[in-house]
Structure 1
Amino acid sequence: MTERRVMAAPRTRSADISPTSWNAESRTIEVVWTTGARGARFDWESFETVDEELDTRSTAVRLDRLNAGAPVLDTHRRSGLANQIGAVVPGSARMQNGQGVATVRLSDRPDIASIVSDIASGIIRNLSVGYMVHVYEIERAPGQRPLYRAVDWEPFEISFVPVPFDAQAQVRDAPESSPCILRPHPVQEYSSMSHTRHNTLGISRTADGQQPATEPAPITNDPVSLARIREYVMAASEGAYAQLTREDCNGIILDIAERGMNEHEMRETLLGILASRQRAATSPAGGGPREIVDRWGSGSATYENPNFHARAIEDALYARMSGRAPTDQARAFMHMSLVQIAGQIAERAGVRGVNSMAPGDVLNAAAWNRTRGFDNGAYRGGGYHTASDFPDLLTGAGQRFLMDMFAAAESPLKLIGRRRNARDFREISGLELSGFGTLSEVLETGEIKSGTFKSRKETYQVKTFAKMFALSRQAIINDDLGAFGDPIRVMARAAGETEASLLASFINNNPAMSDSNPLFNAEHGNLAGTGAAPSVATLSDGRLAMRSQKDLDGVTPIAAAPKYILSSPSYETAIEQLIATQLSANQVDEANPFAGKLTPLVDPRLDALPWYLFADPVNAPVLEYAYLEGHEGPRVEMKEGWDTLGTSFRVYMDFGAGLVDWRGAYKNPGAVVG
């Protein structure tokens, strides 16, 4: 590895104070602002987890800025003079016994008197130092994480914080990055590729943005070796939000190897997987508070943390749309108008004069009218959007509300179906097993007999269903969140109706299977000869028919016991009375053997008279449905308007369903009840 230059963002480290050193007369206190402790962090430059260690020798630390009276801030806030609560006493910063020590003087301004009082009494005792790294010395050893030792670094501010940043945190509101030299450790250089990762993603730029003289190894179109794939995947699995299990990693490794990807394709695939994991983390299928994870993965629970602030705003928007109780962190935003929220976001992004802006300009300043296509807030090729862009937070809250409403609108017919995920839009089939009725005995030195696998003839595919609606600029300015929430509610019901109608059509239409016979047919042994209302006798006939079904070999019983009884609302009361009837000790002949054994399902889309029995779809599936992998349920995305002043939202769903077998179901044509 040769020396190279990159752009490194400022970082922060936790530190500590000594409350007993408080001098009330001079308003000074002694602080220990670093111990140089080693800590792990994920390095997106090299796409790997590394250990960072600060060299605490006096020759490695540039103390000029601290000794010139560096600012002491409230939680790293550098957006205004009001956030400076003190300064380092000039000349007091020094390295002593492996620690960075300094004396800080706190302001006597009345507006921060309570903060100073809490510091003096020891209630506030957490610090975090902001620093720049100019030179990293990189040490690599087999079987260990790379060690990035900062041998030339410069502290530039000290902050009092409620929750200290850990060694992995980075200051995301820093004004600029600074050049940083990456230098191999002079005595730790391993030539084996298996022991080093030379800029795995190939991202390296000098201070002027140009590629350095030493380029990464060229990328070829040759398939990547299995060892190289494993190295990439395991590095990705250590990311802050990857959450890749060993099973996940093995599946990804095999998939990349089987598809013969080159290095570029492999990188794009892994970035797509990580982006998908991030979307899953930031847009759960439910109403709980979401954990927003950004590029740096910081999690300090204060409003100064952009993640925490963004999560609180989204929770408030979601609570207002859904009518749910807000989370504790969201309460601060519950009574703010949408324009006020957008204004706060713009101020945090460094926009000046927000208070004097017209409402429409505030929305523009909060990135409302960014030029982009439909957006779901995920990773895009141009880089990461800030976690607190107002449109993204509104879309995130809308996605949560959409999934709430969709869950409420789901059809009970999904209970009788088996769910699976589809990787693409190609036809979905499956495997049928023949000759596996029992295992055959193997005699000494005998041959093991083979069963047969063949593709199932019944197929279906995932299709895309979508609609759009618009949110006007006037609605946002008027704080009309209902103009967004109401269409979301309607779209959720439409998505649920799309699924339910498709599933009901298979039952009502009784389509032909691959053997040319309808789903419910005498040839299949799953259709009653005479229609009748549900009763102990007719249920018994249905159960017997299902128990009598044979596997593909025509011999092995599948014993498909009924679990669900399905009907239109016509039989709802009669079925509830039937399955609720309990056994009477003195009326054994009139006992109901089905009491409590069947789950009633009612769907108004079904034809009025027929009723059905279905087995557990895990054991004997009849109906199967699928979502596109990574897109389970409906999704909401947004696009800025250009011809009109407003925003377009679209809700889409990738869903498909089909019949896969007939053996786990039974139909009775029914009859009019009394």
Structure 2
Amino acid sequence: MADSLELLTRQASLAPQSINTSERSVEVIWSTGAPVRRRDMAGQYTERLSLAPEAVDLSRLYGASVLDAHRQSAVRDVLGSVISANVDGERGTATIKFSARPEVEPIWQDVRAGILRHVSVGYSVERWAETIDNGARVLTAVRWTPHEISLVPTPADPGAHIRMETNMTDKQSNAPTGNDASIRDGNLAIDNTVQTRTNIVASQGDVQTRAAVNAEIRSIGRIAGLDQTWIDSQIDTGADSDKARRAAFDALARRSAPTIRTEQVQVNLGESQDDPALRARQMGEALYARINPRHKLSEPARRYAYATPVDMAKDLLSLRGEVTSRLSPASLVTRALHTTSDFPIILGDTVGRVLRDSYQAAPSGIRQLGRQTSARDFRSINKVMLGEAPLLEKLNEHGEIKAGTMAEARESYKVETWARKIGVTRQVLVNDDLGAFSDLARRMGQAAAETEARILVALLESNSGNGPKLSNNKTLFHADHGNKAGTGAEISDVTLSAARLALRTQKGIEDRTIRVTPKYLLVPPALETDAERWLASVSPAKASDVNPFSGSLSLIVEPRLTSAARWYITADPGEIDGLEYAYLSGSEGPQVESKSGWDVDGVEIRVILDFGAGFIDHRGWFANAGA
């Protein structure tokens, strides 16, 4: 962003051009390719925009919105739309049309009066070319796309302005005529200097003669390259010179402009390169890449690849027009924390990325045995289980098909909120201590995973190890459910066979045998070695030495289990209902919020986990108390 001194010295005179009050349209120069001083992590550089026709993709600008100072949060920010746009190698021009909404009328009047005259373009850059000019870096956008045009108080490009003089239709007949009003398409210009207005306008109250008007229409048609049919149609309909010029402009636009795509009518706006929120996201990604070198930076974030938090604070303050040249590193961080919300967002985004990495990498244990779902709100989640479908019956001689019914059972649980607040001090930010910063985020990610695992284990081991009570007022593991060993015993062929048989012979809601396939053996760390021995694959010398459980069960070790002896056999959660856990919809896993801190001299970061779990059915789990 150019500093204030540069902006004051780069002024441009306005070229008088046309405003059409009847059409509520005006021609603007949205870029002259003027150099703009900016700063990235490598220091200051000069940004240039190539205005070669092959460098600029105008497809998004046709039909694009005209905005109020690049704001795009609501429809009220749209002041009008772009009717046509062009680049000719030296400047970008466009015709914009203002809305007739009542709230836009004062802005339109200020444009007409010459009070509002500065414009700025919002664009994205697909490809840069870097050069050195007198020892200074120059970044030239050699492939870029303008997205919108905005009315602004002060433009980065001093030559970007509205052409202010009104059309002939809006003048008194004795007013002076304007020069340089033009109709543009590609490199074509219909120059009003060739128009013979001095031969058309007489004294006040005089009108244009038909012959003079017809001569001017023929001149317009020849300059615009329009055929004789067009000229004859204008003369035959009695068009005056102003109407003929508008018709010529429309004919040129239809002939040269690409087809406007249907998506252009959507309010789907690009991001300005000066948007602080966009810069904040790029900075957050770059800071994360310094912590995690395996992360591949996106192209826009590369400019901040080596930035420290102090560098980022300075850049954000400069973007908002604050003078930072005499501020110390500590003052830069303090002011960034308290005068802009972007700086805490950067740190929160970085913490969130590191936290989620650690959360996803944490050992899952018991979490593998549950099925994940989502909840719309914090009310109880009611799960209805349908019984077995009725068996088919042989038709009687009358061909009557009897109706069948399905029994059902219902279990419920709900999502609850778990949260913690941590602080990143101002000293850590000033010192660029990314080690402490990332370590804090990593530990919080591990803590979130630990919280989930403890919730699941506590649920499994509730009621003295018998599990939670279900809707039938019996615990998960109960003799009536046929999923609990009568006597605790160690893992062996006998006890594993009994557990497998218990699951294979489970009865459904309608007391019919259902298909339950044992898949996992869940043990505490104290039984891990024994479990591996009984599940090991060996090459026996005789049939009696064959291990029947080799390859039939997968071992899951859960270190948070409090009993060193109890073990479990479970089915695949994708096959039959059992353990289920849920996150609030749209908030899967831990969520991070950040703000400038009052309780801590720095940034406060909240980690919030909306999580709940419950057992939906007992038929996929078997427990043995062990010995």
Provide the TM-score with structure 2 as the length reference. 0.60
Residue in structure 1 matching 2:328, options 353, 358, 364: 358
- Between the two proteins, what is the percent identity of the paired residues? 33
> 1 CA distance for matches of 2:469 and 2:26?
64
The aligned counterpart of 2:203 is none
The partner residue of 1:653 within 599, 606, 609 is: 609
- The amino acid that maps onto 1:465 is W
SS at match of 1:164: strand
- Cα 1:345–1:7 change in 2 (3 A) is farther
Residue 303 of structure 2 corresponds to residue 313 of structure 1: no
Give the corresponding residue for 1:593: 548
| C-alpha distance 12-563 of structure 1, shift in aligned 2 (>3 A) | farther
Matching residue of 2:485: 528
Question: Secondary structure of the residue that 1:652 maps to in structure 2?
Answer: strand
Matched ranges for 1:198-217 at <5 A: none
1:465: which partner in 2? Answer: 418
How far the C-alpha of 1:482 sits from its partner, in A, is: 3.9
- Counterpart for residue 207 of structure 2: none
Counterpart contact for 1:13–1:169, Cα < 8 Å: no
Mapped to 2, the partners of 1:513 and 1:431 lie a distance apart of 13
Are 1:9 and 1:171, in contact at CA under 8 Å, matched by a contact in 2?
A: no
Paired residues for 1:530-549 under 5 Å: 530-549=487-506
Quote the Cα distance in structure 1 between the aligned partners of 2:621 and 2:53.
Answer: 73
Q: Cα 1:41–1:343, aligned 2, differ >3 Å: closer, same or farther?
A: farther
CA shift at 1:461, angstroms? 0.9
The alpha carbon displacement at 1:322 in A equals: 4.3
Question: Post-superposition shift, 1:360?
Answer: 3.5
Measure how far apart 1:503 and its partner are: 0.8
Taking a change above 3 Å as real, the CA distance of residues 337 and 38 of structure 1, as seen in their structure-2 partners, is: closer
**Displacement of 1:546 after TM fit?**
0.5
2:128 counterpart of 1:164: no
SS in 2 for 1:593: coil
The match for 1:573 is 529
The gaps in structure 1 that reach 5 residues or longer are 15-28, 57-98, 105-128, 139-152, 181-233, 241-294, 372-384
Q: The residue matched to 1:662 in structure 2 has which SS?
A: coil
Alpha-carbon separation, structure 1, partners of 2:551 and 2:32 = 61
* Corresponding residue for residue 367 of structure 2: 414
Tell me how far 1:577 sits from its aligned partner.
Answer: 2.7
Structure 1's 8 and 421: CA in aligned 2 closer, same or farther, altered over 3 A?
farther
Residues matched between the structures, number: 442
Aligned to 1:664: 620
Whether 2:473 is the aligned partner of 1:516: answer: yes
Aligned-pair CA distance for 1:438 = 3.9
What is the match of residue 449 of structure 2? 496
Question: Matches of residues 592-671 of structure 1 in structure 2 within 5 Å?
Answer: 592-606=547-561, 607-642=563-598, 645-671=601-627
Cα distance change of structure 1 residues 643 and 418 upon mapping to structure 2, 3 Å threshold: closer
Assess if the C-alpha contact under 8 Å between 1:503 and 1:657 holds in 2.
yes
CA deviations 1:160-212 (Å, max 9, x no partner) are 853533364668999479999xxxxxxxxxxxxxxxxxxxxxxxxxxxxxxxx
CA contact (8 A) 2:28 2:95 kept: yes
Indicate the residue corresponding to 1:451 in structure 2: 405
Superposition pairs of residues 10-49 of structure 1, within 5 angstroms: 31-32=52-53
Tell me the distance in 2 between the aligned counterparts of 1:544 and 1:340.
Answer: 66
The answer to whether 1:101 aligns with 2:88 is yes
Gaps of 5+ in 2: 1-21, 34-49, 66-71, 102-116, 126-138, 164-261
How big is the shift at 1:651? 1.1
Pairing of 1:81-230 with structure 2 (within 5 A): 100-103=87-90, 129=92, 133-135=96-98, 161-162=140-141, 164-166=143-145, 168=147, 175=154
Q: Return the offset for 1:361.
A: 3.3
- Specify the SS of the correspondent of 2:321: coil
Q: Does 1:484 align with 2:437?
A: yes
Residue 369 (structure 1) aligned with residue 347 (structure 2): no
DSSP 3-state at the match of 2:477: coil
In structure 2, the residue matched to 1:392 is: 345
Amino acid aligned to 2:618:
W
Determine if contact 1:314/1:396 at 8 Å carries over to the other structure: yes
Query: Which of 72, 78, 84 is residue 55 of structure 1 equivalent to?
Result: 84
Residues 393, 646 of structure 1: CA spacing in aligned structure 2 closer, same or farther, 3 A cutoff? closer
The 10-residue stretch of structure 1 (487-496 or 304-313) with the greater mean CA deviation from structure 2 = 304-313
Equivalent of residue 562 in structure 1, options 491, 496, 518: 518
Q: Which moved more, 1:602-611 or 1:641-650?
A: 641-650
Q: How far does residue 465 in structure 1 lie from its aligned partner after superposition?
A: 0.8
* Residues 155 and 646 of structure 1: CA distance in aligned 2, closer, same or farther (over 3 Å): closer
What is the CA–CA distance in structure 2 between the aligned matches of 1:9 and 1:603, rounded to whole Å? 68
Q: 2 CA distance for matches of 1:522 and 1:472?
A: 56
In 2: Cα distance, 1:173 partner to 1:615 partner? 64
Say if 1:38 and 1:54, in contact at 8 Å, map to a contact too.
Answer: no
**TM-score, normalised with respect to structure 1:** 0.56
Query: Are the structure 2 counterparts of residues 518 and 155 from structure 1 closer, same or farther at C-alpha, using a change threshold of 3 Å?
Result: closer
Deviation of the 1:470 alpha carbon: 1.8
Q: Structure 1's 173 and 518: CA in aligned 2 closer, same or farther, altered over 3 A?
A: farther
